[in-house]
Amino acid sequence: MLVAALAILVLTATTVAGCGTRRSSAQQLRVEVLATLPHDPTMYTEGLEMHGGILYESSGLVGQSRVRTTVLPSASPLREATLPAPLFGEGLTVTDTALWQLTWTNGMAIERDPATLVQRRVVTYPGQGWGLCHDEHRLVMSDGTDQLTFRDPVTFAVLGHVQVRLDDEPLRELNELECTGDIVWANVFETDRIVRINPNTGVVTGVVDASGLFSPLTAGDDVLNGIAAIPGTDQFLITGKHWPSLFRVRFVPR
């Protein structure tokens, strides 16, 4: 009986330890830095995207929200459009014919001319606006929950939803988004993680550890946020809120 009891105790301890150290089913990736570029530290980065050789960036905070275009490697704006208070700018994306910019709690998506940034119209939506990207067929939007919402790129109408899961657990606070083919990349708010999502299933297939890129002088605002794929390459531009640098990187296995 004593031997049997000890065997059960050892088995139980091993099982618990195994659960505590269970490896994620998602591929583990790290950031390989290829170059460091200047970035305007006044930008509270909410959206970042490369399109047609132009870098588009959306910045948040009430009274400071704006959208701008730049040509790398300069951090100086080509064009800039501001959002009046009380609007709080969030994610953006560019299609062949339009730039869409979200607002956080204002329930408004702004369509702009991508060349001039002039506002064309405003459409409304319920809930919050966080991240936005375009997969060539539909818009993909995050709202702070574990849901991604698919929208029509012309009308902004809802086409569907998917729940995002990492190791069968809901993953919330998906922030800035980047679509690359049939993949959605997302910053996880207030972390140094970027996740790779299959938008058809919602399953997280990869987790990027982007820690160590920037050590803010103060805690809080200076979090990682902003992912822009560089077309025709396997490279990305990443930055954060109020970061003085923009990093050209690859995501490679750990």
- Tens-place pLDDT, residues 207-230: 999 998 886 655 456 899 999 999
* Domains in the chain: ranges and CATH: 45-253 (2.130.10.10)
**Residue 222: per-residue pLDDT:** 84
Q: Would the pTM of this model clear 0.85, i.e. be above it? A: yes
CA 137 to the chain's CA centroid: 19
CA 201 to the chain's CA centroid: 18
Whether 52 contacts 230, CB under 8 Å: no
Whether 107 contacts 127, CB under 8 Å: yes
Question: Which stretches of the chain score pLDDT less than 70?
Answer: 1-22, 215-221
Whether 184 contacts 177, CB under 8 Å: yes
**Residue 221: per-residue pLDDT:** 62
Contacts of 73 (CB under 8 A, 6+ apart): 37, 38
Q: Which H or E run contains 14?
A: helix 2-20
CA 167 to the chain's CA centroid: 20
**Portion of the chain with pLDDT greater than 70, in percent:** 89
